């Protein structure tokens, strides 16, 4: 795990030449691919599901702008325990790698624990995919933050 972080930090510092900041509409579309239907849920469960879906789309867009808490929320929601959000363990791991690689002053031991949990459940191929995804996302996030 430590080598994975070192490699990501070293490679993640360079912004890929082809990196582009997605538009808000593109980010919304991308976020919506992670949404599950709330069909079949009733009452408070249906309401919670709809609120979770809206919160995910908003957090996803903010995460691309470099918002630390939004990145944490996206990683958490992709674990698969949030109603209305499809589990994607590779993507959850990628967001955890991003949080650590950015070195936000708010990051703490819970972020390292979340990384161990989310990335630790992946096999070597899944971790490699998550690392590649995190590197690509880091380039987009850094460009987006620079253009704010």
Query: Would you list the domain boundaries of the chain?
Result: 22-146
Q: HSE (CB half, 13 Å, CA atoms) of 14?
A: 6
Q: At what angle do helices 2-12 and 89-102 cross, to 10 degrees?
A: 70
Can you tell me which residue has the tokens 């009452």?
43
Can you tell me which residue has the tokens 């955890």?
96
Residue in 95, 88, 138, 137 with CA at minimum distance from that of residue 114: 95
pLDDT at 122: 98
Q: HSE (CB half, 13 Å, CA atoms) of 123?
A: 1
pLDDT at 10: 46
pLDDT at 24: 86
Can you tell me which residue has the tokens 């690509």?
136
pLDDT at 144: 56
pLDDT at 8: 53
Low-confidence ranges of the chain (pLDDT < 70): 1-20, 142-148
């Amino acid at each position: 795990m430590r080598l994975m972080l070192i490699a990501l930090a070293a490679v993640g510092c360079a912004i890929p030449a082809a990196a582009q900041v997605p538009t808000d509409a593109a980010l919304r579309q991308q976020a919506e691919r992670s949404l599950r239907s709330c069909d079949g849920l009733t009452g408070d469960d249906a309401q919670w599901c709809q609120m979770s879906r809206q919160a995910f789309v908003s957090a996803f867009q903010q995460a691309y702008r470099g918002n630390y808490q939004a990145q944490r929320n996206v990683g958490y929601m992709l674990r698969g325990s949030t109603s209305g959000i499809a589990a994607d363990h590779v993507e959850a791991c990628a967001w955890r790698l991003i949080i650590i690689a950015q070195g936000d002053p708010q990051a703490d031991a819970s972020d390292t624990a979340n990384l161990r949990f989310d990335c630790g459940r992946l096999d070597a191929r899944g971790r490699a995919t998550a690392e590649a995804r995190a590197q690509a996302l880091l380039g987009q996030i850094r460009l987006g933050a620079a253009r704010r």
